[in-house]
Structure 1
Amino acid sequence: MKAVLQPGPVIVDVEGTRLNQAEYERLQHPLVGGVILFSRNYENPTQLYALTQQIRQARKAPLLIAVDHEGGRVQRFKTEGFTHLPAMQTLGEYWDKDPLKAMRAATEIAYVLASELRACGVDFTFAPVLDLDYGVSTVIGSRSFHRDPKVVTMLARAFIQGLSLAGMAACGKHFPGHGFVDADSHIAIPVDNRDLDSILTEDAIPYEWLSDMVLPAVMPAHVIYPKVDQKNAGFSSVWLQTILRQRLNYQGLIFSDDLTMEGASVAGDITKRATAALTAGCDMVLVCNRPDLADQLLSSLEPIANPMLSIRLKRLLPEKAFMTWDELQHHQRYQDARSFQAQIISA
């Protein structure tokens, strides 16, 4: 019998709609703990399910198959039956008219999102965005629920409930908050000059109120807050350990944001970035769109002991099998949720 590998701290991606031999071998590396999928990996639900099964065959569980799938402009799969989901800002606008209806809509939309992913063999989505909408961030923008942290918290909680109804966990991002800065951390190094109290009494409130009982994973921002620490939040033990773990008592899993982003370049090469993130307090690190860098990291990273990784990751893995895509299309609860979210979009 083939031994079951324990999860490692590195999340990698794949290039196409099927695994190639190099990817098959990469997934068996002991430092790998997950795979993140993108639009390029999708043709239709049947193909996507076949790909996720290939991934599971390449490496026995536990392995997290994830995607950045929020709705709006960050939705990786949109064709061949996947529902076009609204941006979360739409829910904030409905909150201003009818808070209870907005909360129901958040749950219905998240249920549709999670059901479609799970029917294709995807375990997890990096959502919801908890950043506040200050009206200045080009990369956050309509991805944010609202400017008010209380509204963000309530809508996020309703959204997380919808994910949970389909057996999917949630990830809040980008701790402690990316909404106040204009620069896009994919292509720049954002700097937020506010002091700690300003951030904790505004942007970080959803993380404190939701905590790991509701929100089992968090992703920090590739943003530098120099009045708190000179390192960006994803590489900062001040943010991840002193503030998130100790002050806010958060015990869930911490993902780094993609280490190939420009905002991560301050830490050096890919190995230094991963080491900095893991040393600061991240449990897992993402390396996206650069298989060469993924292989470089896997060959050079010195493992950092983290006995909590398996425990925290287990909370993100679905506990039960889900219905097939065909079964989902005839599932009354799913049809009702799709109908309700369609009314919200057209209203």
Structure 2
Amino acid sequence: MYLSALTLEEKVGKLFVVPICPTHGEKHIEKVHKLLKEKYIGSVIFMEGTSSEQKHILQLLAMQLLTFQDAEWGVGMRLMDIPPMPKNLTLGAIQDLELLRAFGRELARQSLSVGIDCPLAPVVDVNSNPKNPVIGKRSFGDDPHEVASRALAVMEGMQEGGILACAKHFPGHGDTAVDSHLSLPKIDKSLEDIENAELVPFHRLIDAGVDLVMVGHLQFPALSVDPSSLSYEIITELLREKLGFEGVVITDALNMRALSLNYLIEEVVTKTLLAGTDLLLLAASRPDVIDYLIDVAIPRAIDHIIATIPEELIDQKLERIRALHKTHSEIPGKQPELCRTLYRHAVTRIGKEIPLGRAVALVQNQPDPIFENFLRSHAEVLCFSYEEMEKASAFPHVIVQVGPNDFPSKLPEHAIVALFDVPYKLAAIPQTAAVIGYEDVPFAKEAVADVLFGKIPALGKLPIQVYE
């Protein structure tokens, strides 16, 4: 009854997820609103803005829409007034999976509080390539089974909290050295290797009832000659028939250069729909790119779908999409100490356990009053620059702080590295002891300081292999 009441143009519009960026002002919002109404668009993805702007726009639109946002580490990933939560690599170090379920519930609370149905999480890519330029901290680690366990815990929390979970980027973006925003990554692995690594987390989440799977733009020669997002063999034969996924398949942004360098938008939408996808995502933040999508690409794509895709196939996709429109449960309660607790459970110690005294030399690339003050709650702290490393080495207790842009060399043998970045960096730093906070944020710095001086234990374990 629902589908029989819709025209073909109305049906096609509901296959699209279009971008809306609150920071671009009223004219942009009006332009998107016009597109939504005239082309019967069914879904939006919110880009950068604030929580109040986002809620205000949803009130202005006053439409029944499926709403998305890239919010892998909380809506603070996109909303400037909301503090971000820990990234997946940090969560990958945590051993208590109940904390990851709590993370999922908090992600649900944040999403629902700003009108989001699906935060396009969790990322389930197995980050087996240390040189991966786009996944990295977005992955739970390099062990497929550990990634699966953590992604499942987060998914369970999300669904308990009343939002939709989306496993991405199928069939796996973890073993790439190319960013698919810029070019098409090629993963030369055998089918057996893919089944034993990339597919493990997807299989686990599909069996547990994940709502959506996002298909990435990736070249897997062992699976298909086509990019994964345009491949019938990958989407229909592998994802749907072999892995048994019956939910909604959403594309990664179809305007990414992995596809746009080689295909017109008309080709892309036709190929991906015939391959088995349901929702067509287009996303951008730059005003000129969004204007092009609204004025040219999306109308052109809609016309091409109307002319080329059988209506019966479109109906099948809409039935799956419609099943995602469900009444949310009550918004979960806020967990005020959760973020701090997650960082404290993630801290990891490797190498020697070097005791510290009541006075320490802290060697830094740049002054960091936040970390200094946390250390000063335990001991007297004398600060030195990297250029003063030799001078600092004369002190019996030395901490060398390493952040995202820091690359120290010639560390004293008795120094402890306090790392606030990905652990891969340790492979290039000569050290015998390190305490890892994973991120350059205050909660991580407080936790590392407390571990260094024995106030709390180091409960985390490395989620990736640092040394070969």
TM-score normalised by the chain length of structure 1: 0.85
Give the partner amino acid of 1:130.
V
Counterparts of residues 1-347 of structure 1 (less than 5 Å)? 8-17=14-23, 18=26, 20-30=29-39, 32-39=41-48, 42-43=49-50, 45-55=51-61, 57=62, 59=63, 61=64, 63-71=65-73, 75-77=77-79, 79-80=80-81, 82-94=82-94, 99=95, 101=96, 103-134=97-128, 135-211=130-206, 213-265=208-260, 267-289=262-284, 290-295=290-295, 296-299=297-300, 300-303=303-306, 304=309, 305-320=313-328, 322-323=330-331, 331=333, 333-335=334-336, 337-338=338-339, 340-341=341-342, 343-344=344-345, 346=444, 347=447
Letter in 1 for 2:41: V
CA contact (8 A) 1:52 1:122 kept: no
Deviations 1:268-293 (A, max 9, x none): 11121111111111101111223323
- Measure, in 1, the Cα distance between the counterparts of 2:262 and 2:214: 17
CA distance in 2, matches of 1:310, 1:197: 34
Contact in 1 for aligned 2:32/2:294 (Cα 8 Å): no
Quote the RMSD (CA, aligned, Å): 2.5
Q: Is 238-247 or 208-217 further displaced after alignment? A: 208-217
CA gap 1:50/1:191 in 2 versus in 1, 3 angstroms: same
Alpha-carbon distance between aligned partners in 2 of 1:315 and 1:292, rounded to the nearest angstrom: 31
**CA distance in structure 1 between the aligned counterparts of 2:98 and 2:57, rounded to whole angstroms:** 33
2:110 maps to amino acid:
E
For residue 151 of structure 2, what is the amino acid of its counterpart? A
CA contact (8 A) 1:168 1:318 kept: no
Tell me the CA shift for residue 48 of structure 1: 1.8
Higher RCO (CA < 8 A, seq sep 6+): 1
Deviations 1:202-232 (A, max 9, x none): 1111111221642111111211112321111
CA distance in structure 2 between the aligned counterparts of 1:228 and 1:234, rounded to whole angstroms: 12
Q: Is the 8 A contact 2:75 2:111 kept in 1?
A: no
What percent identity do the matched residue pairs reach?
A: 26
Within 1, Cα distance between the matches of 2:203 and 2:316?
21
Q: Secondary structure at the match of 1:123?
A: coil
* Deviation per residue, 1:296-320 (Å, 9 max, x gap): 3324332333333333224433413
Which secondary structure state, in structure 1, belongs to the residue aligned with residue 314 of structure 2? coil
What SS does the corresponding residue of 1:129 show, helix, strand or coil?
coil
- Relative to structure 1, the CA distance from residue 185 to residue 73 in structure 2 (aligned partners, 3 Å threshold; closer, same or farther) is farther
In 2, Cα distance between equivalents of 1:165 and 1:112: 10
Decide whether the 8 Å contact of 1:53 with 1:121 is kept in 2.
no
- Structure 2 CA distance for partners of 1:143 and 1:11, relative to 1, 3 Å: same
- 2-structure distance, mates of 1:313, 1:274: 17
Cα pair 2:86 2:343 within 8 Å, conserved: no
Shift of 1:74: 8.5
The superposition leaves residues 182-219 of structure 1 with CA deviations (integer Å, 9 ceiling, x where unpaired) of: 00000111111112221112111111122164211111
CA displacement at 1:137 relative to structure 2: 1.0
Offset of residue 30 of structure 1: 4.4
Q: How many residues align?
A: 323
Q: Radius of gyration: which is bigger?
A: 2
Gaps of 5+ in 2: 285-289, 346-442, 448-468
TM-score scaled by length of structure 2: 0.64
Q: 141-150 vs 211-220, which deviates more? A: 211-220
* Segment drifting more, 184-193 vs 264-273: 264-273
TM superposition shift of 1:130: 0.7
Asked if 2 retains the 8 angstrom alpha-carbon contact of 1:71 and 1:88, the reply is: yes
Looking at structure 1, the residues matched to 14 and 74 of structure 2 have their Cα atoms a distance apart, in angstroms, of: 31
